[in-house]
Amino acid sequence: MKTRNPYELIVRQTKLPISLLDEKKISLVHKAEATQQQYSAEQDRHRIREDDGVRDLAKQPHFKAGQSKRLWNELFKVLDSSDVVLYVLDARDPMGTRSSYIEKYLKTEKPHKHFIFVINKVDLVPVWITKRWKAILSQEYPTMVFHADLNKPIGKVALLGLLRQLSSLHSKHRQQISVGIIGYPNVGKSSIINALRNKKVCKVAPLAGETKVWQYVTLMKSIFLIDCPGVVYPEGATEAELVMKGVVRVEYLQQPDLYIRDVLDRVRPEYLRVRYRLPQETPAIDREPTTDASNPSWLTDTELFLELVSRQTGKLLKGGEPDLMTTAKRILNDFQRGKLPYFVKPPPEPEEDKKDREGEMIEEMVKDLAEELDEGDEGDFTPGIKPLNSSLAAAIESGLVEDVDMDAVSTDDDEPVHDLNDGEHPETIPAKESQNTVEALSGKQRRRLHRALKRQQGRAGRHFYKELREHRSPKGIKAELRSRMQKTRP
């Protein structure tokens, strides 16, 4: 009952006092009296403070690029409309361009969608770096490698084959499938679409934020591609990391020289010296000169490094003063566009996996060379296959054998040599049934085979970078090996 309302009356008489109706007000008074002596931080807002001239630096709005609500809405539109999701990663820093939030969202909310990693820009890192990252990421999701180039792309055939298989998998339920391409800004999403279409259908630039909205692109009659704007995942990335990853455009930076220290920490000194033609001996620029080429003084002094580069490139102001800001912007642009080599090293490979991988690689190479030698002209004599000495096989796998005389190795000379082309000796051991088997070649041919095995050690497997090797050789690696081995036949 409200006592303030004069139109409300007590209909039923009770023995309770009327003061109980104002119990809330009385309790607030007692509460205020109890907390009267406590400190209140809100009262300090009205106090006059002495100005010490120090202000908190406001964060530039450009560092929030890729984090707007509009871009996240575009991302979720692509995820909802896609049957297959291609997550594009930068080969220089795959883990830095991943988002655990999106992966968890797809795993929990969209488990029926096919999720595939695509490592792009593999031309900017060594082969062993790409191979190791591919092995690590393949443990979680299917992983492909790609180099987006309109003229000579790498990985295009494998990616198209995978998309065709996924399309045929859904052919019973639908006629077309949609493939969404998502990822961090400036990782090459639109460039992958152009490479798959073999023409420029999406606008691309070596800058972040070129794609504004999602767009459909027809790859073939049964496959559609969806290009998505790059989205930055707010997971504690610093401003320097955003600049190094190419999220923020260099022309928007007010103090670009603050991020040169991060470039020096990531790029080797010899690459910087070659790129900007820095001298071996650091000249004296109001400082003590140094002659240590391995650890020059400009490696620890950012201002000295900018002065040297500005003088070498002719970026000077009035009176011959070096233009440090323009030079810093040029260095950051070179870093973002891949002109300065840089990559994040993957975790080391376990020794057991490394030995197994080397053994499989040698076995596959021996099989390929044996098959190539079998593909001779009619009438050519193809020698039979003999098992190698176990000690020799172990030495080849471990890489300890140098250019030794292969004729001195015991290979059971009493065993007759058969012609595999006549088909009269089924008891001959084929190459695919023995791991340590090669053709019974002459000593010179064996030495050539051994050198070929040595050259292939440390490279990626043939199933991984076979397209790259064939791309560099017009006739392909197999044709080259076949021609070399045929020249050495008696």
Q: Convert the pLDDT of each residue in 376-422 to its tens digit.
A: 443 333 333 333 444 444 444 444 444 344 333 333 444 343 333 34
Distance in angstroms (rounded) separating the CA atoms of residues 352 and 375: 35
Higher pLDDT, 28 or 344: 344
The average pLDDT across 83-106 equals 92
Query: Are both 172 and 220 inside the same structural domain?
Result: yes
Residue 107 in domain: yes
Are residues 204 and 110 located together in one domain of the fold? yes
| Residue 403, domain member (yes or no) | no
> Would 198 be classed as within a structural domain?
yes
Residue 345 lies in a domain: no
Looking at the fold, whether 75 and 171 belong to one and the same domain comes out as yes
Instruction: Establish if 322 belongs to a structural domain.
Output: yes
| pLDDT tier for residue 11 given thresholds of 50, 70 and 90 | low
Q: Is residue 489 part of a domain?
A: no
259 and 191 within one domain: no
Confidence band for 443, pLDDT divided at 50, 70 and 90: confident
442 vs 381 pLDDT, higher one: 442
* 120 closest CA partner among 177, 193, 35, 169: 193
Same domain for 222 and 257, yes or no, is no
Assigned token pair, 485: 């081995």
Last residue of a domain, one of 337, 369, 403: 337
Q: What is the CATH number of the domain that holds 67?
A: 3.40.50.300
Condensed to tens digits (0 to 9), the pLDDT of residues 275-302 reads: 998 877 555 554 554 434 445 678 888 8
Evaluate whether residue 156 is within a structural domain: yes
Q: What is the pLDDT of residue 382?
A: 36
Verify that 96 and 182 share a domain, yes or no: yes
Nearest to 196 by CA among 237, 142, 144: 144
The answer, yes or no, to whether residue 82 has pLDDT greater than 90, is: yes
Burial string for 330-359 (b: 16+ CB within 10 Å, else e) reads bbbbbbbebebbbbeebeeeeeeeeeeebb
Mean pLDDT of 239-250: 85
The count of domains in the chain is 2
CB proximity list for 206: less than 8 A, separation 6 or greater: 186, 336, 337
Q: Are residues 276 and 183 in the same domain?
A: no
Please give the residue range of the domain that contains residue 182. 63-227
> Which band of pLDDT confidence, cut at 50, 70 and 90, is reported for residue 18?
low
Residues 222 and 137 both lie in one domain? yes
Per-residue model confidence (pLDDT) at position 10: 58
* pLDDT, position 117: 96
Provide the phi-psi class of 249: left if phi over 0, else alpha when psi is between -120 and 50, else beta: beta
Asked if 132 and 214 sit in the same domain, the reply is yes
Q: What percent of the chain has pLDDT over 90?
A: 28
Confidence at residue 165, expressed as pLDDT on a 0 to 100 scale? 93
Of 336, 294, 312, the residue nearest 209 (C-alpha): 336
The verdict on 196 and 74 lying in the same domain is yes
Stretch 120-128: mean pLDDT: 91
- Structure confidence at residue 453 (pLDDT): 72
Kindly state whether residue 434 falls inside one of the protein's structural domains. Answer: no
Mean pLDDT computed over 150-174: 90
Last residue in a domain, options 304, 337, 370 = 337
Read off the pLDDT of residues 353-366 as tens digits, 9 standing for 90 and up.
Answer: 666 666 666 666 56
Give the residue with greater pLDDT, 470 vs 173: 173
Residues 107 and 253 in one domain: no
Average pLDDT of the chain to the nearest whole number: 74
Stronger pLDDT, 481 or 86, i.e. the higher one: 86
The CATH number of residue 277's host domain is 1.10.1580
Q: Give the pLDDT band (50/70/90) at residue 263.
A: very high
Cβ neighbours for 139, distance < 8 A, ≥ 6 positions apart: none
Are 206 and 277 in a shared domain? no
Q: Which residue has the higher pLDDT, 156 or 411?
A: 156
Residue 261 or residue 56, greater confidence = 261
What is this structure's pTM? 0.60
